[in-house]
Amino acid sequence: MRGKRLSKVKFAIPKGSLEEATFKILEKSWTKVNRKSRTYRVYLDDPQIMVKMLRPQEIPTLVADGLYDVGITGKDWVDETKANVEPILDLEYGKIKLVIAFPDNFRYKNIDSMIADYAKKKKTLRISSEYLTTASKFIKQCKSYKKFYGSKDPLIVTPWLRLGKNKNVQIHLSFGATEAKPPEDVDAIMDVTETGDTLKQNKLKITDKVLESTAHLIANKNSLKDKTKREKIYDIVTLMRGAVQGQKYLHIYLNVKEKNLRKLLKQIPALKKPTVSPLSEKGWYGVNTIILKSDYYILIPKLRKIAQGLVVHEPRQILELEEIKRDEEN
């Protein structure tokens, strides 16, 4: 009797700023990751996973609509699109801040004081951003906005669409190079930054932090209810979580004399308990353990005095299989 053919899990991964880091984590999660040049198709060593590269802005909506079962995108784009998806794993890369900035010669302390001054002077405030809904939500929460404009939505302006009734505060869609817009085209911007250097170079100052974001693995909620697809999705979660964890730890192996063994075990941290094995030479033991990278340089002076033959490996993955099992049962 032939087994039922499994439907492929469709996996959308981001092209652009998150692309390089995404491929690094894919290569740690699977043994083979192939990409044909000038195409958007990616091939893993699991024939049940179909991978395609897309813009991160598109991925939340495509996953929510069921065109893809899982995807990788910034949490900022999940919030911006208001996509009804399930964030299932923080991948801990692509860290950015979404901020408001305006020319450094403006005297305003923040966007709230800018809104108040423009409202009093009956000037139109223009803000440029790729994040239209996020900008609108943030602006509407400002005290000055509520005071002068109540619950009216700011006017969102794109080349093909205008939404909102408050023409006094306008949010203009940016197609890139947002930091170049002020002061001639707009008064302020809402844009992503990692270090703030690009904004400073364009004589802009950061005044408000809107949100922080990292890359997330997201899933379609109906796909998680499908028993077959859920199993494959949790395979993906297991492998990628293992790769995320693997980046935080080091695998070390060292030899120690029996008289120093107890002292070593008291001082050395471990993911769980170290593996201790007697060596062929009497009076010597091998100690095998996993430690946090952040503990490594603290340990070196201690290990130098009481151990020998230190070998260090960076693990490809650390698979927390028991934890994943509990997640599946829940």
| Per-residue 3-state assignment (H helix, E strand, C coil) for 55-87 | CCCCHHHHHHCCCCCEEEEEHHHHHHHCCCCEE
Before 183, cis peptide (omega within 30)?
Answer: yes
- Dump pLDDT digits (tens) for 206-232: 999 999 999 999 999 999 999 989 999
> Residue 2 above 60 pLDDT?
no
Q: The domain spanning residue 56 has which CATH number?
A: 3.40.190.10
Give 1's pLDDT tier (boundaries 50, 70, 90): very low
**pLDDT given at position 326:** 42
Q: Are 139 and 204 in a shared domain?
A: yes
- In this prediction, residues 186-192 reach a mean pLDDT of 96
Q: Are 76 and 140 in a shared domain?
A: no
Residue 195 structural domain: 97-213
Looking at per-residue pLDDT, the higher value among 36 and 166 belongs to: 166
Please tell me the distance from the alpha carbon of residue 39 to that of residue 288, in angstroms, as a whole number.
Answer: 44
- In this prediction, residues 11-31 reach a mean pLDDT of 94
- In this prediction, residues 299-328 reach a mean pLDDT of 75
Looking at per-residue pLDDT, the higher value among 176 and 167 belongs to: 167
Q: Is 211 exposed, middle or buried (0-12, 13-18, 19+ CB in 10 A)?
A: middle
What is the count of structural domains for the chain?
3
Q: Are 150 and 201 in a shared domain?
A: yes
For the range 241-245, what are the long-range contacts, defined as Cβ-Cβ under 8 Å and sequence gap of 24 or more? 241/89, 241/319, 241/320, 241/324, 242/29, 242/317, 242/318, 242/319, 242/320, 243/25, 243/28, 243/29, 243/316, 243/317, 244/25, 244/89, 244/90, 244/91, 244/92, 245/317, 245/318, 245/320
Q: Are 228 and 254 in a shared domain?
A: no
Q: What is the four-CA torsion angle of 20, 24, 25, 30, rounded to 10 degrees? A: 130
Does 3 reside within a domain? no
- In this prediction, residues 238-257 reach a mean pLDDT of 92
Looking at every residue in the chain, the average pLDDT score rounds to 91
**End-to-end CA distance of the chain, in Å?**
33
- Dump pLDDT digits (tens) for 259-272: 999 888 888 877 67
- pTM, two decimals, is 0.85
